[in-house]
Chains A and B, each alone.
Chain A
């Protein structure tokens, strides 16, 4: 399919992701489309997502690396910067993208976003409101969602 003329950078990145995965992150390309990755991120310790396994999809557009990868959570998650469709509010996926960034750095950034929710720059207004009005309760909800939707069982 789209695997002919795959840029060497993508091949290299893929090899490195498979041979030296970042802690708590796995990414493997789909067999029929080497630009489409199945991603799993473990919920960071000491975050409401601890113990959860979050599935994401990552797609490298034709313009990559001049354009950012497209990334989306497939696992439901209660997070002020991630909406119900799994879209992620992260600057490096938008205007702060740089071709020096890679799949690995993008996924590390998303992992960091799980550790540091930012309700002041929300994507999900309701979750952000919840987070700001009653953080303890919002964190509990996030933990509950982690148990409900992100358990590997």
Chain B
């Protein structure tokens, strides 16, 4: 099962905290969707989306997301800060300095689910050379779809209003659309002869988004057909990626920077949470699922903006009165979000 959730710390109208977001924000977006906790990989998307095959590992640098790795722990080996030489027997006696500054108000919100009709598995997105035309590159990836629909590939495309995309250089590559049928665990392979000659582009232009992040070198738009004729608004999942070469040589590697959902005229960004799944790389004395504070209850609360899912809700509430720093990375806490993983709320 999967859940998704959103929040917006500037607007506190609970009933409407799914806000339309017509333009790509420049700062960390207010919408986050964790991948499902239970066995996500391929088979049937039960009304859900985001089937990242390895949610915890996927937070690595390969995703291009900012933020510390999933199992980052505070710098326990950094020694020595200045301290006062006073009488107490213990150097840290009276060390209640973390209590001194009152924590800022933080929202403690619960999550809301939305359904995604089509999901491109971002870790499966690859670019390969057309065997019949060595100058051209083809796209391949795995995806799930609840309904029939189509996939459109854009290069160097700018995001416009209402989640529409326009290529900057349509002469070099006209966006190309392929229909698909519903089904889980499908593989998309772009047919030979429909690829792009990337030789026309500068490597620098391909390896990063525009400064405003509204132009991405590779944009894949997966769209499902409306369920009914009355429902005129399409469901889309957009995957924005850059194309890199390690040290400027070798084959292109696709790095997904962002995924966007466009559902009922609302734009959501998909973000992963660090530590939501149990991790094979968990610390030896930490099985990864317990709250790092009580080490007893399962984690169900994430810290924003750093996205460390590391606490149970009770400890998160207690922490609010003690500290305003994330227990994992010490970044200031702006919000705490409770994520009910197994309960079918809303």
Contact = CB atoms under 8 A, between A and B. Distances in A.
Nearest to B73: A100
Given A97-B98, A99-B319, A88 B91 contact: yes
Given A12-B296, A102-B285, A118-B79, A96 B330 contact: yes
B90 A87 contact: yes
Contacts of A67: 95-96, 98
B92 A93 contact: yes
Contact of A66 (B73, B88, B318): B318
Interface in B86-125: 88-93, 95-98
Contacts of B90: 59, 70-72, 87
A88 to B, nearest CB: 5
B73 A123 contact: no
B188 to A, nearest CB: 41
A96 B81 contact: yes
Contacts of A7: 294
A121 B328 contact: no
Interface string A89-103: 111111111111110
B73 A105 contact: yes
Q: Among the interface residues A8, A83, A91, which one has the most CB atoms of the partner chain B within 10 A?
A: A91
Contact of A101 (B74, B81, B97, B325): B74
A109 interface: yes
Interface in A64-123: 65-68, 70-72, 81, 83, 85, 87-102, 104-106, 108-109, 112-113, 116, 118, 120-121, 123
B99 to A, nearest CB: 8
A4 B96 CA distance: 25
A132 interface: no
A96 B97 contact: no
Given A9-B293, A16-B285, A104-B285, A70 B93 contact: yes
B285 A94 contact: no
A20 interface: yes
Contact of A91 (B80, B89, B310, B315): B80
Contact of A94 (B74, B92, B294, B315): B92
B332 to A, nearest CB: 13
Contact of B323 (A66, A72, A87, A92): A66
Q: Among the interface residues B80, B82, B327, which one has the most CB atoms of the partner chain A within 10 A?
A: B80
Nearest to B293: A99
Contact of A98 (B80, B89, B92, B327): B327
Contacts of A66: 98, 293, 318-319, 322-323
A14 to B, nearest CB: 11
Contact of B79 (A70, A90, A97, A105): A90
Given A70-B90, A100-B73, A91 B78 contact: yes
A44 to B, nearest CB: 12
Contacts of B74: 92, 96, 98, 100-101
Given A9-B294, A121-B80, A98 B95 contact: no
A92 B325 CA distance: 14
B75 interface: yes
B76 interface: yes
A83 to B, nearest CB: 8
B91 A93 contact: yes
B295 interface: yes
B91 A123 contact: yes
Given A9-B294, A12-B296, A67-B95, A99 B77 contact: no
A123 B77 contact: no
Nearest to A16: B285
Contacts of B85: 83, 123
Contacts of A121: 79-82
Interface in B316-339: 318-319, 322-323, 325, 327-328, 330
Interface of B: 73-83, 85, 88-93, 95-98, 284-285, 292-296, 310, 315, 318-319, 322-323, 325, 327-328, 330
26 contacts: A9-B293, A9-B295, A65-B293, A68-B92, A68-B95, A70-B90, A72-B91, A88-B91, A89-B80, A91-B80, A93-B95, A94-B97, A96-B74, A96-B330, A99-B315, A101-B73, A101-B76, A102-B285, A106-B76, A108-B76, A108-B77, A109-B79, A113-B79, A113-B80, A116-B79, A120-B80
